[in-house]
Structure 1
Amino acid sequence: MRLDKFICKSTLLNRLQAQTLIREGQVMVNQKVIKEANAQVHANNCVTMNKQILIARPPRYLMIHKPANTVCSNVDEVYPSVFSAVGLYSEENHRQYDVALMHIAGRLDADTTGLVLATDDGHWSFNITRPDQHCQKVYRVNLRNQISQQSISAIQQGIKLQGEDKLTRPAIIQLLSPKQVLLTITEGKFHQVKRMFAAIGNKVEALHRQQIGKVKLDIPPGVWRELNQQEIDSFTESNTL
């Protein structure tokens, strides 16, 4: 973990304040003054600031039901940040959860709704996003046109996306109605779901993620909650549903 991030997780200081103290030589790691904010701090290191031993609080793990027209970012852009939209930037929550240190594990497009996981634990989120983990994501997809059995078979076997050399990994697709399906994929290519249906001559009109790994969305739109320990631990185990 970066030294400035460690200080933020051990105090009420923000990143800029922490970096200033580091540059001023007020922070020591294992009794040695460190003036580089990006210096790495490990679990067995002793970090002190003004001779006070710092202890980082435990990592945070949140479920967010992302509303439409929000972005998976720490800051507002053309659309508001999902953190702003669900109230995590209120004074009380911002201080408690250090939202500025958190990131989204598996982003969604601005117009896509549904399950988002947020954390300040980079190792944990790596288990969700790295391709070799095969972490399954389940989407409810509304389509412009009725989907044919031939198209379903193509998606199940893997299809070639525009600009890609390799086929997509085989997907699981369940027909809910002629224009609505449940799609389960284990990849996270740029705009992947929309590109998959474009490749078979269809168009996604609405997209909603309802599950990541074994964690299912169970809260209303615009609401968030902490993950329980079983949900947190599920991403260090098999990610099959």
Structure 2
Amino acid sequence: MTKAPTSRVDKLLSSMAYGSRSEMARLAKAGGIVLDGVELADASARIAVTPDLPKRMQIDGEPLDPLQGMVILLHKPLGMTCSHKEDGPIVYDLLPKRWRGRDPAISTIGRLDKQTSGLLLMTDDGALLHRIISPKRHVEKTYRARLARPLTGNEAAVFASGRLMLEGEEKPLVPAGLEVMSPTEALLTVTEGRYHQVRRMFAAVGNHVEALHRERLGGLTLPDGLAAGQWRLLGTEEISLIFS
């Protein structure tokens, strides 16, 4: 049986952006930290960091935030970016404000551009992030594209050929799958993550993407009931679906 890791209470809460260690010491003395119904007066005490800790610990009367290793599934709305460097609203604004200060920081797993909506994952688990985006993993991503012009009928063969070159690049794309939904709508499944790849692929065959929405990542599908701007935490089984 694997022994649970331990941490000082003040160090744990500081890494979760509740405040500095000295602030956590004062909060503990004021009775603001409760574990299993008992006030923890000493913030320097070490506790076992078990998966059920958020259910057992309260901070100022509220349940403890999720521990490190969380994976967030977000229905990204249009008009938001995944980068802190761009102006305007960013996807991190949709999360609780305190989570912006966590260490390790929460990052998006890959990016969706400002005019693309749909399934976006976020995590503070760096190893998992790199595992998902690694080209060696070939994690599939499926996008629903609405096009400006009707499909001609040869796009599926071109995308599946493994010979399509994007403008400005010297390496052809890995084969991708196209499922035609209507004359101007299709599902495109890719395993790479090149810059604006889906839009550039359709541009390469003489079309233009008017709307783009990511529906699936690996074996994980965006839930029908999750509205744009909403998010939820994924469990272990759901995370494993990404690689199925």
* Cross-structure match for 1:229: 236
Q: Taking structure 2 as the reference length, what is the TM-score of the superposition?
A: 0.71
**Would the aligned equivalents of 2:81 and 2:113 in 1 still touch at CA under 8 Å?**
yes
Amino acid at match of 2:116: T
> Once the two structures are superposed, what CA deviation does each residue of 1:121-167 show, in whole Å capped at 9, x if it has no partner?
01111121111100000000011111111222101213110111121
Q: Secondary structure, in 3 states, of the residue corresponding to 1:194?
A: helix
Match of 1:12 among 7, 11, 14: 14
- 1:101 is paired with a residue whose SS is coil
Q: Any idea what SS the aligned residue of 1:110 has?
A: coil
Map of 1:124 onto structure 2: 128
Aligned-residue RMSD, C-alpha: 3.1
User: Do the aligned partners of 2:165 and 2:172 also contact (CA within 8 Å) in 1?
Assistant: yes
The residue type paired with residue 65 of structure 1 is: H
Report the equivalent of 2:167. 162
The gaps in structure 1 that reach 5 residues or longer are 1-5, 22-49
Query: Aligned pair in 2 of structure 1 residues 138, 9: CA closer, same or farther (>3 Å)?
Result: farther
Q: What are the ranges of 5 or more consecutive residues in structure 2 without an aligned counterpart? A: 1-7, 23-42, 50-66
What letter is aligned with 1:108?
L
In 2, Cα distance between equivalents of 1:101 and 1:8: 18
Count of equivalent residues: 198
Q: Residues 151 and 108 of structure 1: is their aligned pair in 2 closer, same or farther, counting only changes over 3 Å?
A: same
2:195: which partner in 1? 190
State the SS of the aligned residue for 1:222. coil
> What does residue 45 of structure 1 align with?
none
What does 1:14-163 align with in structure 2 at a 5 Å threshold? 53=46, 57-73=67-83, 75=84, 77-84=86-93, 86=94, 88-90=95-97, 94=99, 98=102, 101-158=105-162, 159-163=164-168
- Deviation >4 Å, runs of 4+: 6-9, 50-56
For the Cα contact (< 8 Å) 1:171–1:183, is it kept in 2?
A: yes
Percent identity between matched residues is: 35
SS at match of 2:154: helix
TM-score, length basis structure 1: 0.72
Separation (CA, whole Å) in 1 of partners of 2:10 and 2:166: 42
CA contact (8 A) 2:178 2:188 kept: yes
